[in-house]
Amino acid sequence: MTILILGGTAEARSLAAELTGAGRPVISSLAGRVGNPRLPTGPVRIGGFGGTAGLIDYLLATKISVVVDATHPFAAQMSDHAAQASRRTGIPLFRLVRPGWSDHPVAANWDWVPDLATAAEHGTGSRRPFITTGRQSLPAFGSWADRDALIRLVDVPTSPLPARWTVLRSRGPYDHDHERTIFEQHRPDLLVTKDSGGDHTVAKVEVAAELGVDVLIVARPPIPEDVATVDSVPRMIDLLSVR
């Protein structure tokens, strides 16, 4: 029984390592949007499938028995394609998604918005925003070209950015001391982030709370309701063990 893991997250890598170590045949798939990605244990394919139809062709040609969607919580299109492919092929699909930050002790103090466009509209009072929503999100903040924005990215932007923006290239996870240093050096007056969840990047919102910096957080997109979902690798291992 070959398991396809739609990955790119720490949880996906951990799951691949656990399953491979247990002797389960696994193929991990990465979207290929990040240069020099951290590769999981076992066979890996990199690149898109070509929509739902392409994913279906791959599942059938490779004789995949189970699909685990362990993509980023904001990879809504890939999750939708996986759900459609599962319905049309009958191949079981399970979703592994880390818990969000809505239950964080200071979450009530954040401004929650449904999408990036709304985030750009709500942050009008900021002059030094710290944007950590990823390279593909930057066009949504085009109206902020006159601000001294700090942009944290893994890869170099593919198109020119406003002259007043500062790009900070780095890759998480980030601990509390690291984030505190960033805030003290650049002194942002607003943190803009997504509800990515988990522990790897939560330090930034905690440091923002300590320093009294406003937080604007983009809520997660909905995921298909008919997909069985768990929030940890051990729970996914348990789910797969009964198949």
pLDDT in tens, 10-54: 999 999 999 999 999 999 999 877 767 788 999 999 999 999 999
Helix (H, G, I), strand (E, B) or coil at 55: helix
How far is C-alpha 16 from the geometric centre of its chain's CA atoms?
Answer: 17
| Angle between helical axes of 176-186 and 203-211 (0-180°, round to 10) | 50
pTM for this predicted structure: 0.89
How far is C-alpha 229 from the geometric centre of its chain's CA atoms?
Answer: 16
> What is the average per-residue pLDDT within 212-222?
94
* Whole-number pLDDT of residue 241: 84
Percentage helix, strand, coil for the chain under 3-state DSSP, each rounded to 5: 35, 20, 45
* Whole-number pLDDT of residue 179: 97
User: Residue 87: pLDDT above 70?
Assistant: yes
The pair of structure tokens assigned to 35 is 């240069």
* Whole-number pLDDT of residue 158: 79
> What is the average per-residue pLDDT within 153-181?
91
Distance separating alpha carbons of residues 225 and 219, to the nearest angstrom: 17
* Whole-number pLDDT of residue 1: 85
User: Residue 177: pLDDT above 80?
Assistant: yes
* Whole-number pLDDT of residue 171: 86
Domain 107-218 sits in CATH 3.10.580.10:
no
The set of residues, in sequence order, having a beta carbon less than 8 Å from that of 168 and lying 6+ positions away, is 150, 151, 152, 153, 182
* Whole-number pLDDT of residue 243: 60
* Whole-number pLDDT of residue 226: 85
pLDDT band at 124 (very low <50, low <70, confident <90, very high): confident
Q: Name the segment(s) of the chain with CATH classification 3.40.50.720.
A: 2-99+221-241, 107-218
Distance separating alpha carbons of residues 28 and 201, to the nearest angstrom: 23
pLDDT band at 242 (very low <50, low <70, confident <90, very high): low
Q: Which long-range contacts (CB under 8 A, 24 or more apart) does 44-52 make?
A: 49/81, 51/81, 52/81, 52/84, 52/85, 52/88
Distance separating alpha carbons of residues 26 and 1, to the nearest angstrom: 9
* Whole-number pLDDT of residue 35: 67
* Whole-number pLDDT of residue 37: 79
Cross-strand pairs, 193: 217
* Whole-number pLDDT of residue 43: 95
> What is the average per-residue pLDDT within 155-183?
92
> What is the average per-residue pLDDT within 181-209?
94
* Residue 235 φ then ψ, to 5°: -70, -35
- 2-99+221-241 CATH: 3.40.50.720
Distance separating alpha carbons of residues 168 and 150, to the nearest angstrom: 7
The gap between the terminal CA atoms of the chain, to the nearest Å, is 9
Report percent pLDDT > 70 for the chain: 98
